[in-house]
Amino acid sequence: MTTAAATPKGVRRPPAVRGLTALLATTAAATVAVELLNWWYAPEQGFGLAVRSGWALLRSVGFLVLIWHVRRGRTAARPLGLILAVTTVFAVGRLIVPRAGLPPLPGLLGFAALTLLCAAVVWMLYRSPQVDAHLVRHPGRLVIDRQGISGRATPPRKPPVAAWLLTARVAAFTYSPLMLVPCLIAVGTIFDGKLVAVPAVVGWFVAGVVVGNVVLLDAFFLLRGKRWARGVLVAITVAVLAVDLPLCWWLLGVDGLVRDGAPLVAAAALTCYALWRAGRAGPATAVRPPEHAPS
């Protein structure tokens, strides 16, 4: 059994692709640095801040996954990078603002630097001609031919999926974790003696898990061109907002509504915008991958 060749010897990735890889690594490191800085200056280092900080730190792992997609030349790098950049800005922004008073200057400077890095990532993913020409590789498949069994990147048998549909799918996949994070924070209110919140927290958790599975099923049909799947995803988005936002306000207060509701609203807005753009764009056009795609 053979495997498809990696980057051919003597062939280097375009300068913009190497620059994007370095930028993503810098953004991942900046995410960790800003979170640690915020934790250091936070006046209240409680359970809620620990959960929010842990979720924000997971985005550094997401940027490492994005680096892998970029190095492999995968088309999925764009929607993944867009939703990572948007949610990272919201996730970090909600942590630097204290309950009372003004945020510390180091936290503001770190947030500003991270925002610029995320904006640069999105710009390079969508505006750089070299990156655009690089992100054309299809997922690897097992191919059986006269030379034996090999793993190589092959064009899909079905029509290519519109980029905006991929963006909608990735954005919708964040619904479940964005619901579960405030749900876990609300567990702290139970320990504080608010036992009446137990049924709501349990239902919130179940809703978050169910949403993740429903979105996964709907995304299967969405990427296969089923127009009704777009309407279902919009309905899921409305239902998620109708459940999550009131619970954030009731169990976590206005502060929780802003900190935990805003990222979900941003993801929902991106999902609906991507669906709208996909509807206007029409069918996608196939892109022929290069003969030797770098890995």
User: Taking the domains of the chain in order of start, what are their residue ranges?
Assistant: 1-154, 159-290
Q: Beta partners for 74?
A: 137
Average pLDDT rounded to a whole number, residues 153-162:
55
Q: Of how many residues is the chain composed?
A: 295
pLDDT for residue 230 is more than 50: yes
| Token couple for 14 | 């375009």
Going by C-alpha positions, the residue among 167, 145, 178 that lies closest to residue 248 is 178
Going by C-alpha positions, the residue among 263, 232, 248 that lies closest to residue 89 is 263
What is the rounded distance in angstroms from the CA atom of residue 212 to the CA atom of residue 217? 9
What are the backbone dihedrals phi and psi of residue 112, each rounded to the nearest 5 degrees, phi first?
A: -60, -45
Architecture of domain 1-154: Up-down Bundle (1.20)
Q: What pLDDT shows up at residue 285?
A: 43
Angstrom CA distances, 38 to 57, 122, 219, 292, stand at 12, 24, 36, 45
Q: What pLDDT shows up at residue 42?
A: 65
| Helix H or strand E encompassing 212 | helix 198-222
- Considering only residues 251 and 144, tell me which one the structure prediction assigns the higher pLDDT: 251
* pTM of this structure: 0.72
